[in-house]
């Protein structure tokens, strides 16, 4: 995950058939994501969107003896 993606954890995801999805946009605040999601629903009424919090989880380094 890049630094810019870490700064914008709120994502709007568009769902497609066959369990596929695409991140449409990223935001710093949930309110901004909700407002953009409402606009997308008005523009593309047949599409399915959801808002997720994509938190960056750091993987601990494994130390081998």
28 pLDDT band, cuts 50/70/90, is very high
pLDDT at 56 > cutoff 90 = no
What pLDDT does 12 receive?
96
DSSP H or E segment with residue 21: strand 20-27
Q: Structure pTM?
A: 0.76
C-alpha 64/C-alpha 51 separation (Å) is: 39
Check the CA dihedral 36-23-8-10 and report its sign: positive
**Residue 62 pLDDT more than 80?**
no
The more confident residue out of 21 and 62 is 21
């Amino acid at each position: 995950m890049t630094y810019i993606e870490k700064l914008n954890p709120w994502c709007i995801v568009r769902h497609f058939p066959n369990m596929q999805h695409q991140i449409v946009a990223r935001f710093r605040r949930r309110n901004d994501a909700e407002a953009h999601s409402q606009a997308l629903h008005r523009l593309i009424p047949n599409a399915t969107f959801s808002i997720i919090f994509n938190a960056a989880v750091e993987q601990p380094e494994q130390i081998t003896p």
